[in-house]
A and B are shown apart, each in its own frame.
Chain A
């Protein structure tokens, strides 16, 4: 399937064939990113995130999700996106990686797409090398270029001893 033919799935999510990727896209500032839907457990409105001492900038803090305390990862510093001026109405994309539930702090969630795995393009070489490793690749959907984040790479610093 050519990338432009990727179709939004709305809320009806079924397991894709092996050669397909289900992506959920979200906005951070003016840019669009996505992660694989298979890791995502839900979308939550951003509740109060409690900052944790000594946490790096990309670890926004912890929040209470129905009685469980989860870490909130802010991908902006990792992706070189300046902090939002005034955050309001953001969303938390709750995901699970390596048995650890966590959440990505995003501005807005867009759509769920199913694309052919082969339609993933490598990131532009102009992207900083240290940031390139955070991506599985990029995909063009309609007129929008979406960077597909590699949750494993994103979570690596958090999981490393």
Chain B
């Protein structure tokens, strides 16, 4: 499984699990909806998808919640605010998209996980550099033509590696505190 790092996930050099522009190989993407946006997350970055109901909501300044999946603890953050959309309060709805970055596991809450699609490699197109430069978007690097355009998003780059590291560390602290509390409860 590929881990996301600070570089381009569409970097021209071949790297396992990364999309590559004008690659002859088809690539798969998890299609998600966040407000009005329909976005694709490269399947190579995705570990799994959970229902929002599986997420344990936290009253924590940085973490929306936590979710256990496949033996790992994933800190949860919402994708919508990273896209300039308003967050919808305390309620957790939709799906959690589980990914791994170099700092550890992360879960991005989206309004809906819609589909897993296969995209012909030669239908990947860069979005105009003007667009990414102006919006300041990180991690939106290409669009593809299916029935319509689909922006391909790297959620970790949208979040930023520094913040990703902070979330992973915060999840570890919460987990350690919970373990200590349980140990203290035991006679």
Asked if A141 is at the interface of the complex by the 8 Å CB criterion, the answer is no
CB <8 Å contact, B130 and A52: no
Beta-carbon contacts under 8 Å, B16-40 to A: 34, 36-37
CB <8 Å contact, A48 and B130: no
Given the known A-B contacts A50-B148, A50-B151, A51-B36, are A69 and B135 also in contact in the complex, defined by CB atoms under 8 Å? no
CB-contact partner of A69 in B125, B133, B134, under 8 A: B125
CB <8 Å contact, A52 and B145: no
Interface size bucket, B side?
20 to 34
How close is A59's CB to chain B, nearest CB, in angstroms? 7
Q: How many A residues, CB 8 Å from partner?
A: 23
| Listed A/B pairs (26) with beta-carbon separation below 8 Å | A48-B149, A50-B143, A50-B149, A50-B150, A50-B151, A51-B37, A52-B127, A52-B131, A52-B140, A53-B83, A53-B137, A53-B151, A54-B135, A54-B136, A59-B135, A62-B149, A64-B145, A67-B145, A68-B125, A69-B126, A69-B127, A71-B130, A100-B128, A100-B130, A158-B134, A159-B130
Q: Assuming A53-B82, A62-B128, A100-B130, what are 8 further A-B pairs, CB within 8 angstroms?
A: A48-B149, A51-B36, A52-B137, A53-B83, A56-B134, A59-B135, A62-B143, A69-B125
Q: Would you call the interface of chain B mostly helix, strand, loop, or mixed?
A: mixed
Asked if B84 is at the interface of the complex by the 8 Å CB criterion, the answer is yes
Considering the chains assembled together, what is the distance between the CA atoms of A63 and B126 in angstroms?
Answer: 12
Binding site for B on A (CB under 8 A): 48, 50-56, 59, 62-64, 67-71, 100, 102, 157-159, 161
CB-contact partner of B151 in A52, A56, A63, under 8 A: A52
Ranked 8 nearest A-B pairs via Cβ: A53-B83, A50-B149, A54-B135, A54-B84, A69-B125, A71-B128, A55-B135, A71-B131
Beta-carbon contacts under 8 Å, B109-166 to A: 125-131, 133-137, 140, 143, 145, 148-151
How close is A74's CB to chain B, nearest CB, in angstroms? 13
CB-contact partner of A157 in B134, B143, B145, B150, under 8 A: B134
Find the residue from A54, A64, A67, A161 having the highest chain B CB count within 10 A: A54
